Amino acid sequence: MIQTLFGAVEQEPSLLERLKSGVQKTRTGLVSALEDAIQGKKVIDADLIDELEFTLISADIGVGATEEILGRIRQRVERHQLHDAEALRGLIREHLLEILQASERAPAVVAEPPAVVLVVGVNGSGKTTTIGKLAQRFKNEGRSTLLCAADTFRAAAIEQLEIWGERTGTAVIRQSPGSDPSAVLFDALKAARARKVDCVIVDTAGRLQTKENLMAELQKMSRTARKVIPDAPHEVLLVLDATTGQNGLEQARKFTETSGVTGIVLSKLDGTAKGGIVVAIARELNLPIRYVGVGEKVDDLLPFDAEKFIESLFEK
């Protein structure tokens, strides 16, 4: 079962196979490299540990998680609890899963619709595409959805969102370019209540985490949402481009400080060998990964499950 804003839903039967396909590059960069390093080794020595360190760092697991893993290996070797280099694979797998599970938490279940999902991120992260895919996913789950075009700074953003609205059969609330984003959001929430819609997905302007005035705009939008729906927004999803690696971690840190991020959507996971950033985000920021993007199609947004993710990396 997967926990969602609307309660638990059945896990998709094809989730593991689709994840395996989506993480193929990371699998090659991390697990295949680990196996190459370990293969044929009879003892766990300094050279092997150096190789493991290089492999983990290269996959963007992060320095902190890498040090934890290597520290655990050294400790078990010193205590004579780890003799076989082949056992290292299982130990690393176990620790990566622990990190991901430690950051997992279910989203707040919305008792009375509409659920309000604010989607934030920097330009080029795949934010608008993710919103379209999320609308399709909610539709597939039997939820009615409204899209809010609150990215009014870039005229093309409204058009792009409307294209996704057409593709997914989802209505879009918009105003003219340059309008106050909070005013657009206010209209969208009023419309959602009147139409008895289950969920409102809000597109926000792509912004650098260093732009304080734009970050303040996100805070204003959250305040506006609460005027219409007291406990909104129910989710603030930060879309990160998996191909940016450790830079994505810094983006997540800044957005968390200023806009109350509750979960991560990792886009373009299929396009990178550095999918280990999932682990770095979970460990450093204690943020749950909600979804991962594994392709260009409208249904290529998958709910994240720590066990399935690790299984997709390590299972043959």
> pLDDT band at 41, cuts 50/70/90?
confident
Statement: residue 289 has pLDDT above 90: yes
Q: Output the pLDDT for position 15.
A: 80
Cβ–Cβ < 8 Å for 215, 261: no
pLDDT value of residue 1: 60
Q: Rounded distance, CA 134 to CA 244, Å?
A: 22
Q: For 15-37, what is the mean pLDDT?
A: 86
Name the more confident of 136 and 315.
136
Q: What is the rounded CA–CA span in Å between residue 188 and residue 182?
A: 10
Beta carbons of 147 and 119 less than 8 angstroms apart: no
Q: What pLDDT band is residue 277 in, cutting at 50, 70 and 90?
A: confident
| Structure token digits, residue 163 | 């294209």
DSSP 125-189: SSHHHHHHHHHHHHHHTT--EEEEE---SSHHHHHHHHHHHHHHT-EEE---TT--HHHHHHHHH
Whether the CA torsion 40, 43, 47, 53 is positive or negative: it is positive
Which pTM does this prediction carry?
0.90
Q: How confident is the model at residue 102 (pLDDT cuts 50, 70, 90)?
A: very high
Residue with structure tokens 């150096």? 50
User: What pLDDT does 9 receive?
Assistant: 61
| Residue 173's pLDDT band (cuts 50, 70, 90) | very high
Q: In whole angstroms, give the CA distance from residue 24 to residue 161.
A: 30
Calculate mean pLDDT across residues 209-236.
83
The model's pLDDT over 122-141, given as tens digits with 9 standing for 90+, comes to: 878 889 999 999 999 999 98
Read off the tokens for 279.
């682990």
Under DSSP, is residue 88 helix (H, G, I), strand (E, B) or coil?
helix
Q: What pLDDT is recorded for position 34?
A: 87
Which residue is it, tokens 């690393």?
92
Write down the pLDDT at residue 11. 64
Alpha helix positions (H), the chain = 15-22, 24-27, 33-38, 46-58, 63-78, 87-102, 127-140, 155-168, 181-195, 212-228, 246-259, 277-285, 306-314
Rounded Cα distance, 18 and 102, in Å: 24
Largest Cα span, the chain? 68
pLDDT at residue 211 greater than cutoff 70: no
User: At 165, phi and psi to the nearest 5?
Assistant: -60, -45
Q: Model confidence at 197, in pLDDT bands (50, 70, 90)? A: very high
